[in-house]
Copies of this chain bind each other. A is one copy, B any other.
Amino acid sequence: MADSHKETAQAQDHLHKVSDALASGAASRVRRLIHNLRPAEIAHVLESIPKDPRIILWELVDPDDRGEVLLHVGDEVRSGLIKEMEAGELVALTENLDTDDLADLLQDLPGTVIHEVLRSMDLQNRHRLESVLSYSEDTAGGLMNVDTITVRADVSLDVVLRYLRLRGNLPDLTDSLMVVDRNDRYLGLLPLSTLLTMDPELSVAEVMVRDVEGIQAETTAVQVAKLFEDRDLISAPVIDQNGRLVGRITIDDVVDVIRDEADHSLMSMAGLNEEGDIFAPVFSSTRRRSIWLGINLMTAFLASWVIGLFEATLQQIVALAVLMPIVASMGGIAGSQTLTIVIRGLALNQIGKSNSRLLMTKELAVGALNGILWSVVVAVIAALWFQSAQVGIIIGAAIIINLAVAALAGFSIPLVLQRMGIDPALAGSVLLTTVTDVIGFMAFLGLGTVFLL
């Protein structure tokens, strides 16, 4: 805990110092402060300050760093900064980037700038870039880099060693060379560690790693992340449909995918966007969130309508009005636990045909047991509070019903949504609350009408 405070303090320190310097208008001090920060750290400060100082700070970032910094900020902050820049500046900031990063960024730039950037590249780099751009951003092809070093299988390690020394440097995060045939078809990997430890007289074919398969360029980014996690990869070859090597994916790009994917469920469940800007202008935040509130309002009105059906009952037995939120709330909480487990299980690919019935049985059993347990507690308290055994029995029965329904709904809503192609993390909780509210009020007030009037 003490440590974590210290680190938070350290990270906050950058933010604090830069904000202070910005507020006092000391441009040279700001420039000196951010000169010592890495692009990701500058991005972090930019994301943590409101729009006006953000633009002032952005103007002070070293032009050589700007491309890298833009890659590290969220989509919304990024497009805000791009809007502030002129075409010439935008072309300049693309100059120091890797092809995969450039491809990412390019999709956010205005058409004239894209044209200019492509025109200013040499033919080889232009072909490379166009190859990355031909794949969608969230596939292996969109993630990949094209700066691969390839070797042939029939040469000796000594030839490779002499070639590398002639070359003078390797692309970032190169842990292996790629072995290809004369048609560029991927054959295997030659790890740098093999080059350094094996007898130079051996041929590449004799020592190369054959059991790392190429990743198809159309594979989704999420699946690529899973492969990297499962196999502890640092980089992996990407191939086209004919088995030809088209690039390689490195782990730094995969880490971003993992982080975004995990954030996505959390933010979606509150109707938010994981790429959003925490300092988005008040009006645009209001508009986006008001849609979510509007959708939820419809479900709230539906619940009210159900209550309205029992107006006559409520008029006579006001205890029901006092107690009814308890039934709805218990159902909502229990259901959202099942819902969260299923949404995460789906994201991690843990749930499928072979085990879904078993999981449903388990969730139903948990719901029923918790229903029985808590219905007794609530029944006793309610009976004592309103001096009526009947009121106690009715609320107890309503809670058992609602918790069983909550388990069923929490389990089946995300599965149905996924089959319909709708994101379960986004729509799941609204639908669940609708079900638990409607069933909760209906069961409790319905039982009350039948047995208490």
Chain A residues in contact with chain B, CB under 8 A?
1, 3-4, 7-8, 11-12, 15-16, 19-20, 38, 40-41, 44, 47-50, 72, 139, 161, 164-165, 167-170, 172-175, 192-193, 195-199, 218-220, 222-223, 226, 228-232, 234, 251-252, 254-256, 258-259, 262-263, 265-267, 269-272, 278-279, 282-283, 285-286, 289-290, 292-294, 296-297, 299-301, 303-304, 307-308, 311, 314-315, 318, 321-326, 328-330, 333-334, 336-337, 339-341, 344-345, 348-355, 358-359, 362, 365-366, 369-370, 373-374, 377-378, 381, 385, 421, 433, 437
Contacts and interface: CB of A to CB of B under 8 A. Distances in A.
B318 A373 contact: no
Nearest to A372: B286
24 contacts: A7-B222, A8-B349, A11-B226, A44-B348, A164-B197, A167-B197, A170-B197, A172-B232, A196-B196, A232-B252, A258-B259, A267-B340, A269-B269, A269-B340, A270-B339, A271-B337, A272-B340, A282-B365, A289-B334, A297-B329, A301-B381, A315-B318, A321-B321, A325-B328
A190 to B, nearest CB: 11
Contacts of A220: 3-4, 7
Given A50-B362, A170-B193, 6 more contacts: A3-B218, A4-B222, A12-B353, A258-B259, A272-B341, A307-B321
A4 B347 CA distance: 11
Given A12-B353, A193-B192, A218-B3, A292 B337 contact: yes
A339 B289 CA distance: 13
A124 to B, nearest CB: 21
A349 B262 contact: no
B365 A219 contact: no
Contact of A318 (B15, B314, B328, B339): B314
A381 B308 CA distance: 14
Contact of A262 (B172, B195, B262): B262
Contacts of A329: 296-297, 299-300, 303, 433, 437
A161 B344 CA distance: 48
Contacts of A328: 325
A270 B304 contact: no
Contacts of A161: 196
Contacts of A334: 289, 293
**Chain B CB within 10 Å, residue with most, of A19, A174, A322:** A322
Contacts of A293: 330, 333-334, 370, 374
A229 B127 CA distance: 29
Given A230-B40, A231-B40, A362 B266 contact: no
Contacts of A251: 234, 251, 255
Contacts of A223: 3-4, 7
Most B C-beta atoms less than 10 A away, residue of A170, A259, A286, A333? A333
A44 B286 CA distance: 41
Contacts of A173: 175, 232, 234
Contact of A19 (B3, B196, B231, B354): B354
A12 B272 contact: no
Contacts of A351: 48, 278
Contacts of A336: 270
Contacts of A282: 362, 365-366, 369
A13 to B, nearest CB: 9
A197 B165 CA distance: 4
A370 B333 contact: no
Contact of A369 (B44, B219, B286, B325): B286
A4 B218 CA distance: 10
Contact of A15 (B167, B304, B311, B352): B352
Contacts of A11: 226, 349, 352
A26 to B, nearest CB: 15
A15 B168 contact: no
Contacts of A303: 325-326, 329
A193 B176 CA distance: 10
Contacts of A267: 340, 344
B4 A278 contact: no
Given A195-B196, A362-B285, A355 B48 contact: yes
